[in-house]
Structure 1
């Protein structure tokens, strides 16, 4: 591909961007690595459907945002696709029953998260019937309003299936002009092939999802990006897109992490998302191919998000493959389906995700959730062991590999020292946790683990400060209220005292007035008597 320097502060000139892409000219991003792909382990067979598990553990929060409110009780009979929670906040989407059956418990259960901490989970025992509770089908979506379609996407519980699980309807319901939609079919992480298989097998439904997004956002341009190590997926999507003039297929050179949101935008447009900004600031919305499939499922077929494609791979599995996994399925059930026998094999670990960005799972009842794209079970010597960490030699190779242009070595020192302010000064939140730095580290330091812990500590510190500030506000408000009440009481007492004093003064004045009036009457009587006497004397003299 042709390589040019990125425009850090420019909005894409879309005519120029499409002209360059039609010539195969793209922009490279800094850093990046080329790890072994290892995708052939799992991408050669069609997506399979395992048997129903005996139990499903469905966490009530499987997205980035606010947890929903549980709407079922223990003992309830539910159907597949029935909402188990409802959204009580804009940044919340519901979770649904992955099959029909009985709610047998609501409990704290190990989470599909690097921490493994328990989280509130609904336990569903399948009845084996897999009976659907479908949403009303919107066949002619072009006559539906954007708000109706956004509500359907929300009601179906769809959050991004290729990243952190941000609610899709929130991203799509933007007030800014959408100039271009980018469909992310890169799937750059080694071993993972779930997007590859869904593109090969369901390209037409992915195209339907893209069309729905175009109708909602009124975007006039679409770039469908597929890494050049997936020729079958590229061909399938190109045939599905056909001669749609809005759409351009882009075959992106294989490089990790080209599938990162900011990295892919830079590759395709030559422009960078502003620091602290979002793709929509450049007029761009980006969606994963699996998300597009789920949108079409919800709108055209009335199906809530109850399953996703998961790659089962690693040399410890005898039958690596991709499967349609019901959300809530314990990973042990899927690994058994893929031929893993822990009693006969000495495993190294089970990784949820890929070798670069994934995390080790310590409990085999941890469930598949909306953002689970892979379960990797490597053989004993297939991947490096993080227990082999050695001291940093300050070689700086990690900085060369960082696609975000950060200084991983400095972030490592600040993370170890728990100097959170300095880590933030060095933009730790711009780290996309791709693992490129750890991959090239000669000391085999698990750098991303340190960064995740630091980010969690920063979030916790911010949460604690917010709680403290809120408590301070409540305290100050209470003090102000008590002071106001005290002043009000004092004012009331003052006015009452003044009223009493005035009343007493009025009472005293009334008494004085009565005495004065009596004296005046007596004086007037005496005067009248004296005058009468005088008049009598004069009469006698006459």
Structure 2
């Protein structure tokens, strides 16, 4: 990593393999300012909205809560709490539909708002440099902050790793078509984002940050060009428009010329990557004491009459959000959470907005036609040409369909970032990413089953070892008891007679005497009974 520092500091940019240039369609939603969405009457809060373990529920049905009040306890290291988005009453805790491609249900907390929107915050830490690192990390954790760029990894945990960091990279690229949430956030809250970057630098123990923005965001770029001269530790990098330049590994390669190792982490190169929305949330948590209860969401697509960006309280249903934006639902209308490349079609509109929800896309049929029937691969190689991870997408698809999990590992399935570039260019309309996601889920399930099997085997072997140990202990006790009896007998012989045979004869005589006495007593008892 150190060999490139001079070039990185000079502002040099590199390139990454593959990539595509789909229509951007960002002008649909970035023409106005961010609008606060009116409060809904009911909120559905999934207890797990990040990459990690769900917290323990600390409220009960009937409890009245304030906005910003924790509803779960963070629990394990990778756990995060969720908070009440507004004040109201807990009306249910049960399984409910969540925003997930599988349409699975998970535990959700239902909150009925009281309309007062009474909020509670933590004490601001304006002098955060005077507070310990562990205290600041705990504040970020208790605020429930996860990566808002899509992965949802706990921010405090990412910063807590004790490894040297050369640069923090702040990702403001937002390369996926239609989505403009980060663009508008940077336009309107550049100074707060800078405050968050400085807090991240302080926590990481490094003095260099690279803020990357794609060239199609001139207003956001202008905001930072105006403010950053007062913050020399933060360097602005304007990167070319290409999808998926906002992918973590692709952005690292663009800015540093370095490739993250296969199955590796940015930390392996001395880097930490955070989204601009995450930097904003960190600043609000530390400097204002605000937990993460709302985020900016892009609502866009030709079927929405009021597209734009909205401050949305977490737990708001997609139905409530779209109703405010003038959407009239129809039975066949697709609604996508995320963008057209990496998003997924929602099973229904009752699912809630969560921490990693950056966009709700409602396209017309002409705007985003449904995929046609899947046809056979013609081996054109277009998918391999555009893959930013330099994989062999068609080979991965064949291996996935054959359930050749060893082959998938050998072809680096988990280096796939699921950007969808391969499926975008496929002339046979093969849903390649669908196969990769399914294969990844199967590999993970097999790994979990293997762990369970290993645990069961270890328990069985431990039981067998315990039983064998107990058996050997019993045998040893019996052996020691037998030896003790022999020693006692020998000692008795030594004390009672010089000749062991004399002792034996004496014992025999005593036994005969006892028998004779018993026989005499029995005869006497018989005579007495006859005389009676």
2:376 corresponds to 1:374 = no
Corresponding residue for 1:95?
Answer: 82
For the structure 1 residues 15 and 510, does the alpha-carbon distance in structure 2 shift closer, same or farther, using more than 3 Å as the test? same
Q: Which residue pairs with 1:7 in the alignment?
A: none
Deviations 1:292-346 (A, max 9, x none): 000011000001111111111111111111111111111111111111111xx45
Q: Distance in 2 between matches of 1:508 and 1:274?
A: 81
State whether residues 347 and 379 of structure 1, in contact with CA within 8 Å, keep that contact through their aligned partners in structure 2. Answer: no
**Is the counterpart of residue 422 in structure 1 residue 404 in structure 2?**
no
CA contact (8 A) 1:224 1:249 kept: yes
1:385 aligns with 2:370: yes
Q: CA deviation at 1:513?
A: 6.5
1:30 to 14, 17, 23: 17
Query: Could you tell me which residue of structure 2 aligns to residue 307 of structure 1?
Result: 294
1:366-425, Cα deviation, whole Å (9 max, x unpaired): 111111111111112221313532221111100001011000010011111111111111
Instruction: Tell me which of 247, 265, 279 is aligned to 1:292.
Output: 279
Deviations 1:12-55 (A, max 9, x none): 52222121x2xxx4211110000000111111111112222222
- Matches for 1:32-431 after TM superposition, within 5 Å: 32-342=19-329, 345=330, 347-431=332-416
Mapped to 2, the partners of 1:146 and 1:15 lie a distance apart of 29
CA drift at 1:493: 2.9
CA–CA separation in structure 2 for the residues paired with 1:505 and 1:382:
103
- Asked if the contact 1:12–1:270 (Cα under 8 Å) also holds between the matched residues in 2, the reply is no
User: Which deviations, in whole Å up to 9, do the C-alpha atoms of 1:168-206 show, x marking residues without a partner?
Assistant: 111112322221111110000001111011111111111
Aligned mates of 2:175, 2:167 — CA distance in 1: 22
Which residue matches 1:528? none
Would you identify which runs of 4 or more consecutive aligned residues in structure 1 move more than 6 Å? 513-517
Structure-1-length-normalised TM-score: 0.89
State yes or no: 1:17 paired with 2:4: no
Q: Secondary structure at the match of 1:226?
A: strand
| Residues 221-280 of structure 1: CA deviation (Å, up to 9, x unaligned) | 111111011101111222232332212111111100000111111111122122222212
Aligned to 2:36, the other structure's residue is in SS state: coil
User: Secondary structure, in 3 states, of the residue corresponding to 2:44?
Assistant: strand
Q: 1:182 & 1:201 partners in 2: Cα distance? A: 20
Q: Distance in 1 between matches of 2:18 and 2:248?
A: 15
Distance 1:11 1:419 in 2: 40
Which residue of structure 2 aligns with residue 523 of structure 1? none
Contact kept in structure 2, 1:56 and 1:329, CA below 8 Å: yes
Rounded to whole Å, the distance in 2 between the matches of 1:310 and 1:512 is 103
Q: Secondary structure at the match of 1:292?
A: helix
1:52-92 per-position Cα deviation (integer Å, ceiling 9, x unaligned): 22221111111112222112222221111111111221111
Alpha carbon RMSD of aligned pairs, Å?
1.9
SS at match of 1:386: coil
1:472-518 deviation per Cα after TM superposition (whole angstroms, max 9, x unaligned): 1111111111211222222223333443454455556655479979x
In structure 2, the residue matched to 1:540 is none
Question: What is the alpha-carbon distance in structure 2 between the residues aligned to residue 122 and residue 272 of structure 1?
Answer: 42
| Residue ranges of structure 2 left out of the alignment (5+ in a row) | 506-532
CA positional deviation for 1:99: 1.2
Cα distance in 1 between the residues matched to 2:172 and 2:269: 20
Deviates most, 40-49 or 350-359:
40-49
User: What is the aligned length?
Assistant: 503
**Paired residues of 2:4 and 2:257 also in contact (CA < 8 A):** no
Partner of residue 473, structure 2 = 488
Q: Is the 8 A contact 1:28 1:267 kept in 2?
A: yes
Moved more, 78-87 or 285-294: 78-87
Rate the CA distance shift 1:356–1:12 in 2: closer, same or farther, 3 A: farther
Looking at structure 2, the residues matched to 439 and 243 of structure 1 have their Cα atoms a distance apart, in angstroms, of 43
Higher mean C-alpha deviation, range 408-417 or range 123-132: 123-132
Q: Which moved more, 1:197-206 or 1:479-488?
A: 479-488
> Whole-Å Cα distance in 2 between the matches of residues 67 and 12 of structure 1?
41
**Whole-angstrom distance in 1 between the partners of 2:116 and 2:405:** 52
**Bigger mean CA offset, 276-285 vs 261-270:** 276-285
Alignment check: 8 A CA contact 2:8 2:255 kept: yes
Whole-Å Cα distance in 1 between the matches of residues 317 and 465 of structure 2? 53
Q: Equivalent residue of 1:468, what SS?
A: helix
- The 3-state SS of whatever aligns with 1:177 is coil
In 1: Cα distance, 2:433 partner to 2:408 partner: 13
